[in-house]
A and B are shown apart, each in its own frame.
Chain A
């Protein structure tokens, strides 16, 4: 223990950089969901994917993921409770040594299934909630969901699970931040995440109607700061302002193909959940290739790994090792070129697109109806 004499060493535990391992494995078990959230990050043509992986195929993904060094495992969707084999998959993941996270809307998470999941070794639950009152919550998700969500939250805490309350933030609910935090405190929830929407897929369709104002964000930020100070360690609050109001891009996924691996319902392997929005990429599928090849060698995972793909202004930017040029999906959706600088960056020649989108959202506030997630949407 030679380092013990050095305080800087003993008190600076290493933050995980992945070292090239896919530490985070996210399984989108299904795109099916009873809710119609107008910011859903599933593809616009989600209903065209009907060939979900079987239980055996998911188990094989779990086994291969652990061999590659994955530690954190998310069961997501769609709504993962739609899969009747969720308990079996959680049990297998527990045996393999994952830290298992259930990412759910709470729909279908009844007491019986929660008990089964706990027996299977589930470690934590992330529950989404949109508002503190049934009227707004149900309107935003397009279903009678509020009562189920609150019942699920109470059941989760009654069983002693650590819990993340995930609040997708839009202009409709951001002013409920104080009430949402009070509710989380009352329920004994340890983590609250104000998840500013990422404007891809359904959220991008509805961007001008969802984007909060800067004033709303500033007010919510003040409430968060006050609550953090008051509750201290009892509650961890994550609050990151939407990148549309930032001057620098987010370090998206901590870099493409760096620590994160998503498997879509049909077995497609994605460097992030949204990556399907980038046209022209042929995503490798776990039905055709082993996960090791997909992660280390497949063209898609190599494409934006490291820095060699970067263009100016990223290529010579001193911040490129910090933000990796931002989000490839956003660069594609807004600039039409996935290898370009994320337009959120003030140095991007496309940054005006962000400023214009914000300005348009402020002018056209609530002029149009939200487009709810639905089958067969004719986007054109």
Chain B
């Protein structure tokens, strides 16, 4: 696992409950809604957060995407994105 990333494979992650995450048809994209703000996610980011929204272990999420795309190289990118999402407060570790 990438040493620069604070998340561990055993961490259970979820969307912070103060954010609303969902598919928005007029935008044809996943969106995150929060007080006075919204973010439209690109397809990749949206696909990852859609899995996080199910509440999931980081390791399981990584394994599933690696298997789905048959590409072990995407692990670091996904972790970097999850960590950035955690920093922004979109995603939190479930305790």
CB distance from B80 to the nearest CB of A (A): 6
B-contacting residues, A87-144, CB 8 Å = 97, 99, 101, 123-124, 126
Q: Which residues of B contact A6 (CB under 8 A)?
A: 77
* Least CB separation from A6: chain B residue: B77
Q: Which residues of A contact B5 (CB under 8 A)?
A: none
Q: Is the CB of A162 within 8 A of B42?
A: no
> With A16-B40, A71-B24 given, is the CB distance from A10 to B45 under 8 Å?
yes
Q: Which residues of B contact A233 (CB under 8 A)?
A: 87, 89
Q: Is B71 positioned at the interface, with any CB of A under 8 Å from its CB?
A: yes
A-contacting residues, B34-70, CB 8 Å = 34-45, 47-48, 65, 68-69
Q: Is the CB of B69 within 8 A of A99?
A: no
* Least CB separation from B22: chain A residue: A97
Q: Which residues of A contact B43 (CB under 8 A)?
A: 1, 3
Instruction: Give Cα A380 to B24, complex, Å.
Output: 49
* Least CB separation from A68: chain B residue: B26
Q: Which residues of A contact B68 (CB under 8 A)?
A: 1
Bitwise, B64-85 to A at CB < 8 A (1) or not (0) is 0100110101101110110010
* Least CB separation from B74: chain A residue: A4
* Least CB separation from A8: chain B residue: B77
Which of A9, A71, A97, A101 is B42 in contact with, Cβ under 8 Å?
Answer: A9
Q: Is B15 positioned at the interface, with any CB of A under 8 Å from its CB?
A: no
Q: Is the CB of A23 within 8 A of B18?
A: no
Q: Which residues of B contact A19 (CB under 8 A)?
A: 27
Q: Is B12 positioned at the interface, with any CB of A under 8 Å from its CB?
A: no
Q: Is B31 positioned at the interface, with any CB of A under 8 Å from its CB?
A: yes
Q: Is the CB of A15 within 8 A of B40?
A: yes
Q: Is the CB of B45 within 8 A of A72?
A: no
Bitwise, A297-330 to B at CB < 8 A (1) or not (0) is 0000000000000000000000000000000000
* Least CB separation from A236: chain B residue: B89
Q: Is B29 positioned at the interface, with any CB of A under 8 Å from its CB?
A: yes
Q: Is the CB of B45 within 8 A of A190?
A: no
Q: Is the CB of B38 within 8 A of A72?
A: yes
Instruction: Give Cα A48 to B34, complex, Å.
Output: 35
B-contacting residues, A233-248, CB 8 Å = 233
Q: Which residues of A contact B1 (CB under 8 A)?
A: none
Q: Is the CB of B20 within 8 A of A16?
A: no
Q: Is the CB of A14 within 8 A of B42?
A: yes
* Least CB separation from B46: chain A residue: A13
CB distance from B67 to the nearest CB of A (A): 12
> With A4-B65, A4-B69, A4-B78 given, is the CB distance from A71 to B31 under 8 Å?
yes
> With A71-B24, A99-B20 given, is the CB distance from A14 to B44 under 8 Å?
no
Q: Is A363 positioned at the interface, with any CB of B under 8 Å from its CB?
A: no
B-contacting residues, A137-168, CB 8 Å = 162-164
Instruction: Give Cα A126 to B35, complex, Å.
Output: 8
A-B contact sample (18 more), CB < 8 A, given A4-B71, A11-B77: A1-B44, A3-B42, A4-B69, A7-B77, A11-B80, A11-B81, A12-B42, A14-B40, A14-B41, A16-B31, A16-B40, A21-B26, A69-B24, A72-B33, A99-B20, A101-B35, A123-B35, A124-B34
Q: List 13 A-B contacts (CB under 8 A).
A: A1-B43, A1-B47, A5-B74, A9-B44, A10-B81, A14-B29, A15-B39, A71-B38, A99-B33, A123-B20, A123-B33, A162-B34, A233-B89
Chain B contacts to A: CB under 8 angstroms: 18, 20, 22, 24, 26-27, 29, 31, 33-45, 47-48, 65, 68-69, 71, 73-74, 76-78, 80-81, 84, 87, 89
